[in-house]
Structures are given as C-alpha cells and as structure tokens.
Amino acid sequence: MEKLREALRERGSRLTPQRLAIYEHLRDTKSHPSAETIYGELKARYPSLSLNTVYQTLQVLDEIGLAQKLPVESREARYDGNATGHAHLICLECERIWDIDGEALPAVSEIDRQAEKKGFKVVRNQVQVYGVCPDCQAKGR
Amino acid sequence: MEKLREALRERGSRLTPQRLAIYEHLRDTKSHPSAETIYGELKARYPSLSLNTVYQTLQVLDEIGLAQKLPVESREARYDGNATGHAHLICLECERIWDIDGEALPAVSEIDRQAEKKGFKVVRNQVQVYGVCPDCQAKGR
DNA sequence: TATCTAATTAGTTGTTATTCCTATTACTGC
DNA sequence: GCAGTAATAGGAATAACAACTAATTAGATA
C-alpha cells in the first residue's frame, strides 16, 4: 500500500479507496482479469464503483509500473498485477491465463537483446503462447 | 497465387480478385498494415472494394495460415503476411512494426518448450517488443 | 459454354470494449 | 477545517469489428 501511495504521489496523483481496492485485488489474484471482471468482483464491496474508474485506475497502475495491460486475441484486454517481464500462457478454449516464469525468462531477455542489437530502445515486451491447457485437453476437445 | 488458390480450395472457398489483391498486398509489404490501411491502399485500384470484404478476407487468410493477426496495444489490429512464428518490434512513437527473425527464433522456440513442459498444447505464439525505433530516437527526445 | 448452386460482395445495421464529458465528491497540503 | 484540485460516477459517444441481407458471381458439371 505504501508502495502504491508513493508511486502515485510521485506522479502527482492521489490515493483513493477505489485505487487501493483495484491495486490489491490485482495483486492478490492470479487470474489476469479484465476490467469488466474486476468491476464485477469489487462492485459488491464498493457499490458506487464505476466501470470508468476501473479503466482509469488500470491505466494509471500501468503507467506507474504496478500493473500490466495484456492485449490478447480476445476482445477484452486483461490485466496482470505483476509488471515484470514474463511470458503468458493463454488457453484458447477457457481463456484462462497463466504466467510462465523461471526457465523461460532468459529466452525473453534474449529477444530483448536482439531488439537492442537492431538499435531499438526497448521499453517492455509481451510474450504470449496460445494453446490448450491441460484441463481443456482432458475435457476432450 | 497458386498457393492461395490451393489453400482456399481445401477450405471450400473460392479465389476472388479481391482476395488475391489483399493477399498479394500483404505479402509484398513489410509494413504490417491495419485492415483500414489495406482498404485505403487498394481502394484506388479496386474502387468497389468494401472494408467488410477486407475484414473477412483477412480472417480467412489468418485461418488458412497465410496471414497473421497481431493484437497490438493500439486499437487497431495489424496484419502480417508472414505467418511463421517470429517476433515483432513495435515502435511506441511511430507505430511502425518490424519483424525480428534470425537469432531471436531459438528463444521463441525455447518459450514454447517451457509451455509444453507445463502440459500445454501449443498452437501459436505472439512475441512483441515495444520500444522506440532508431528513427524516432534520432528525432529527439 | 450454359446451367445450377453455393459462396461472395457491398452496404447497412448491430455490438461492445473503451473513452469522453461534466457535475459532484473527496483527497492533500496548509 | 478550508481551499484548491484531482478523482469519481454515470450517462453518452466513439470506433473497430461482426452480423445480416439482397444481389451478384464463380466454379463445377455436363
């Protein structure tokens, strides 16, 4: 929470209950929710919350590096409370998303390095692997 | 062109002048255009072309593996006539997109391998590196 | 090459994620 | 606590894209 307050202050922004709630929700879930989903999940506790605020807050969190917007193939963007560079595994059937960390990280860094070799100043990367998760495979296509 | 004809036939679809034009345009450009851009660029030669046809054709090309839809951060999807697995370099300022091939490919494959180790059946991947291109870096800031 | 039939086109309309607008509310620094 | 200013809520607007439809056209067959 102090991390959030500090990052917001640096940007000249205020810490509001809505922002805190969205930040904590994102931080505590592994589900990479969409804006709409976050809205739905927080609405019970914060009845006055508006979807617009969710969008704005997610954008702010993305800007200050405390969240990451994932532009995936489905229409809705999904959000990740872990903004460090890592890859995502996306199930084409159930649309769930998982992080791939550990051994995949060096490969992600290697791609950045190739980009830099071409004279690019790298800001961030997005690595998505689309496929079918074990659950959906078991469910028999 | 025969490749396109063949792939369309297999799907039970026909080769039309519009489809051919869109296919060739995509194949011959390195610019990863949006549907709207393709429409604008072909409109002069095919005045009767409709934007809807462009969308439909791009979807067909994507399905038969002769093009690739890139869900990028900007609102419009961009299309690539090279549907083989490779990474993209995207300039956050001018929005141009380049392919990264060659040495980055093993790293992309390595990430797929990690996904498979988790029990995923990998279908395709998307690797995007966002940053600032040399031109835009030179242009100051 | 004429015919039959299913696919395609182009135009219109629909859908929906996201953004814009603005009056009201509520943080923050004093 | 008060003033100043940023954030919120909520409704309306936007825009990319998808669905629908009537008319056209291409492809296979003979």
HEC assignment per residue over chain B: CHHHHHHHHHCCCCCCHHHHHHHHHHHHCCCCCEHHHHHHHHHCCCCCCCHHHHHHHHHHHHHCCCCEEECCCCCCCEEECCCCCCEEEEECCCCCEEEECHHHHHHHHHHHHHHHHCCCEEEEEEEEEEEECHHHHHCCC
The total number of structural domains that make up chain B: 2
Q: What per-residue confidence (pLDDT) applies to B101?
A: 79
Q: By percentage, how much of chain B surpasses pLDDT 70?
A: 98
Cβ contacts of B88 on chain A, cutoff 8 Å? none
- Could you report the per-residue pLDDT of B105-128, keeping only the tens digit for each? 888 888 899 999 999 999 999 999
Pairing of strands B87-91, B121-132: parallel
A14-18, A75-79, A108-112, B78-82: segment of lowest average pLDDT = A108-112
Same domain, residue pair A11 and A29: yes
SS3 state of residue A68: strand
Same domain, residue pair A98 and A46: no
Name the pLDDT band for B1 (thresholds 50, 70, 90).
Answer: low
- Domain end, chosen from A40, A60, A83, is at A83
- Domain end, chosen from A83, A105, A132, is at A83
- Domain end, chosen from A83, A104, A121, is at A83
Name the pLDDT band for A1 (thresholds 50, 70, 90).
Answer: low
Same domain, residue pair B114 and B126: yes
Same domain, residue pair A61 and A102: no
Element (H, E) at A100: strand A97-100
* A71/B71 touch (CB, cutoff 8 Å), yes or no: yes
* A130/B132 touch (CB, cutoff 8 Å), yes or no: no
Q: What CATH number is attached to the domain comprising B126? A: 3.30.1490.190
Given a cut of 60, is residue A141 above it in pLDDT?
A: no
Best A125, A132, A133, A135 member to test B by mutation, with max B CBs in 10 Å, is A125
In whole angstroms, what is the distance from residue B128 CA to residue A53 CA? 28
| Domain of B26, in residue numbers | 1-82
Same domain, residue pair A58 and A94: no
B126: its two tokens: 């998307």
Q: What CATH number is attached to the domain comprising A24? A: 1.10.10.10
Report which residue is nearest nucleotide C18 when distances run from CA to C1': A55
Q: What per-residue confidence (pLDDT) applies to B17?
A: 87
Same domain, residue pair B71 and B122: no
Average pLDDT, chain A: 92
What is the average pLDDT across A53-64?
96
Q: What per-residue confidence (pLDDT) applies to A86?
A: 87
In whole angstroms, what is the distance from residue B33 CA to residue B4 CA? 19
Same domain, residue pair B115 and B70: no
- Say if CB B21 and CB B1 are below 8 A apart: no
Same domain, residue pair A65 and A14: yes
Assess A65–B contact: CB distance below 8 Å, yes or no. no
Same domain, residue pair A98 and A67: no
In whole angstroms, what is the distance from residue B30 CA to residue B35 CA? 15
Report which residue is nearest nucleotide C9 when distances run from CA to C1': B53
Name the pLDDT band for A46 (thresholds 50, 70, 90).
Answer: very high
